[in-house]
């Protein structure tokens, strides 16, 4: 008998949903893959056999200053595990401990607290090495290293540029702007100035197509070109499974190692669909902190939903809207795309343009389909500003049933890890000649 009950995670909570009898549906989960039995050994193997680069022991030399750029607490990369294998190799190659420091790549996210850094890096590493938040809004801590194709000065966190070697640590997962995360993104826009972060997202806001899952999205190629001006000498990229456990790890050149990681990531995050859904219930898990991040779970469904389809987004948003509250207003603008183009042509940069670019991109989704946010961290009034409906998390079942009732003979897609999943429509099977 077909099981019509599924469980969805939302922040620290878990909710059961029941698909009414007679409704056709598909429950899509990330592939469990082959969980790495010995994560430390997997990291060592990647460091032993880097892609497109020599071993790290040949990248660094005695007397050099080394900057390790790590993703922040919005990502689940096992940075501590990687550093425990990476740091001894560099020190064994003659790099002094006092010449190694770590920068948390914030993009435009809030600063990490001391406790969050310790959780991310481990107490021992935090105590033994200098650790910084990237100061994307502090002009005294930024240095210009070139200009973007739009003429905007590329300014990067100065301590990182003072280093002789820069090493990036992050994970590869679906990304609404870059197609896939990882690689050069840890540096650009990871540790760039706020105006460059905004320009990064503008590239997404100006494009109508969904970039999620595109291996060589135009935004990625542009970032990789600009990274060549800055210099990223080595990366370690992980791929995590549905339980945020290590699935694969690559090391080496910031382009070649990232592409290899993408090939592993597609095995985990790609979900095959037999047909186009009419209604999608997408849990933003494992992303939950705020709407700025949780909104990512809308891009995958939007790529497969027809015009006028139903999108239910389950997202805790425990920190509310997040660092860019005006995203809601920009989502609700009918002429947001046109206004964004005008601001870009006028040479505007900065945080507000970033917020507008993401808001315009999300607003297109909210107008393409009927979008409803199921969240205790956001209010009905906030959702109305953005052109979304709203239900409390306890009313998840009601939200689903009402969405199904608005469609005639609907096909339902439930995505358990919508914050990371890439829905892929399989080609239609040709009719048999028999």
Confirm whether pTM is higher than 0.85.
no
CA proximity to 79, closest of 114, 121, 36, 133: 121
Look at residue 31 in the predicted model and tell me its pLDDT: 76
Look at residue 429 in the predicted model and tell me its pLDDT: 37
Is 433's pLDDT higher than 50?
no
Candidate ranges 34-43, 85-94, 283-292; pick with highest mean pLDDT? 85-94
Look at residue 326 in the predicted model and tell me its pLDDT: 95
* Percent with pLDDT over 90 in the chain: 66
Is 1's pLDDT higher than 50?
no
> Per mean pLDDT, which range of 25-39, 122-136, 256-270 is the poorest?
25-39
Fold adopted by 39-267 = Rossmann fold (3.40.50)
Question: What are the residue ranges spanned by the domains of the chain?
Answer: 5-30+274-425, 39-267
Is 335's pLDDT higher than 90?
no
Instruction: Please indicate whether residue 20 or residue 428 has the higher confidence score (pLDDT).
Output: 20
Query: Three-class SS string for the chain?
Result: CCCCEEEEEECCEEEEEECCCCCEEEEECCCCCCCCCCHHHHHHHHHHCCECCCCHHHHCCCCCCEEEEEECCCCCCCHHHHHHHHHHHHHHCCCCHHHEEEEEECCCCCCCCHHHHHHHHCHHHHHHCEEEECCCCCHHHEEEEEECCCCCEEEEEHHHHHCCEEEEEEECCEECCCEECCHHHHCCCCCECHHHHHHHHHHHHCCCCCCCCCCCCHHHHHHHHHHHHHCCCEEEEEEECCCCCEEEEEEECCCHHHHHHHHHHHHHHEEEECCCCCEEEEECCCCCCCHHHHHHHHHHHHHHCCCCCEEEEECCCCCCCCCCCCHHHHHCCCCHHHHHHHHHHCCCCCHHHHHHHHHHHHHHHHHHCEEEEECCCCCHHHHHHCCCEEECHHHHHHHHHHHHHCCCCCEEEEECCCCCCEEEECCCCCCCCC
Instruction: Please indicate whether residue 242 or residue 276 has the higher confidence score (pLDDT).
Output: 276
- Span 67-78, average pLDDT: 93
Is 430's pLDDT higher than 80?
no
- Span 198-213, average pLDDT: 77
* Cα distance between residue 51 and residue 66, in whole Å: 20
Instruction: Please indicate whether residue 135 or residue 354 has the higher confidence score (pLDDT).
Output: 135
CATH no., domain 5-30+274-425: 3.90.226.30
Look at residue 350 in the predicted model and tell me its pLDDT: 64
pLDDT in tens, 394-406: 999 999 999 999 9
Contact by Cβ (8 Å): 306, 278: yes
CA proximity to 186, closest of 69, 79, 47, 108: 69
Look at residue 431 in the predicted model and tell me its pLDDT: 35
Candidate ranges 224-233, 250-259, 285-294, 344-353; pick with highest mean pLDDT? 250-259
pLDDT in tens, 91-143: 999 999 999 999 999 987 889 999 999 999 999 999 999 999 998 989 999 99
- Span 397-418, average pLDDT: 96
Is 432's pLDDT higher than 50?
no
Q: Per-residue confidence at 290, pLDDT binned at 50, 70, 90?
A: very high
76, HSE (Cβ side, Cα atoms, 13 Å): 17
> Per mean pLDDT, which range of 244-253, 281-290, 341-350, 384-393 is the poorest?
341-350
Report the Cα–Cα distance between both ends of the chain, in Å, rounded: 30
């Amino acid at each position: 008998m077909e099981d019509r009950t599924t469980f969805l995670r939302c922040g620290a909570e878990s909710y059961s949903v029941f698909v009414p009898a007679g409704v056709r549906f598909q429950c899509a989960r990330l592939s469990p893959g082959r969980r790495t039995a010995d994560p430390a050994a997997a990291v060592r193997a990647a460091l032993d056999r880097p892609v497109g680069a020599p071993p790290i022991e040949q990248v660094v030399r005695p007397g050099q200053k080394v900057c390790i750029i790590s993703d922040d607490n919005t990502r689940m990369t096992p940075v501590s595990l990687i550093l425990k294998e990476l740091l001894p190799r560099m020190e064994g190659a003659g790099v002094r401990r006092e010449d190694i420091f770590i920068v948390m790549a914030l993009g435009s996210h809030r600063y990490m607290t001391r406790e969050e850094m310790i959780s991310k890096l481990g107490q021992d590493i935090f105590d033994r090495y200098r650790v910084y938040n990237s100061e994307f809004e502090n002009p005294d801590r930024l240095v210009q290293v070139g200009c973007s194709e739009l003429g905007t000065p590329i300014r990067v966190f100065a301590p990182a540029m003072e280093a002789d070697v820069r090493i990036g640590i992050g994970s590869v997962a679906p990304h609404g702007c870059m197609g896939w995360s990882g690689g050069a993104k840890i540096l650009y826009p990871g540790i760039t100035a706020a105006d460059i972060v905004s320009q990064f997202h503008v590239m997404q806001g100006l494009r109508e197509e969904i970039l999620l899952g595109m291996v060589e999205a135009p935004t990625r190629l542009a970032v990789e070109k600009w990274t060549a001006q800055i210099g990223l000498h080595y990366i370690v990229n992980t791929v995590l499974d549905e339980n945020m456990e290590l699935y694969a790890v690559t090391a080496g050149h910031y382009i070649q190692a990232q592409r290899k990681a993408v090939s592993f990531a597609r095995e985990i995050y790609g979900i095959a669909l037999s047909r186009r859904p009419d209604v999608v219930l997408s849990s933003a898990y494992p992303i939950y902190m705020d709407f700025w991040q949780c909104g990512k779970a809308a891009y995958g469904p939007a790529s497969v939903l027809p015009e006028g389809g139903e999108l239910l987004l389950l997202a805790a948003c425990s920190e509310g809207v997040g660092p860019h509250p005006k995203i809601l207003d920009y989502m609700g603008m009918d002429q947001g795309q046109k206004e964004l183009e005008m601001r870009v042509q006028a040479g505007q940069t900065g945080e507000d343009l970033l917020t507008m670019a993401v808001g315009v991109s999300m607003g297109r989704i909210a107008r393409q389909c009927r979008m409803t946010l199921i969240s205790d961290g956001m209010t009905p009034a906030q959702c109305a500003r953005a052109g979304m409906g709203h239900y409390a998390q306890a009313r998840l079942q009601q939200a689903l049933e009402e969405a199904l009732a608005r469609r005639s003979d609907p096909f339902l897609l439930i995505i358990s890890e919508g914050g990371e999943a890439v829905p892929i429509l399989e080609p239609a099977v040709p009719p048999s000649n028999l």
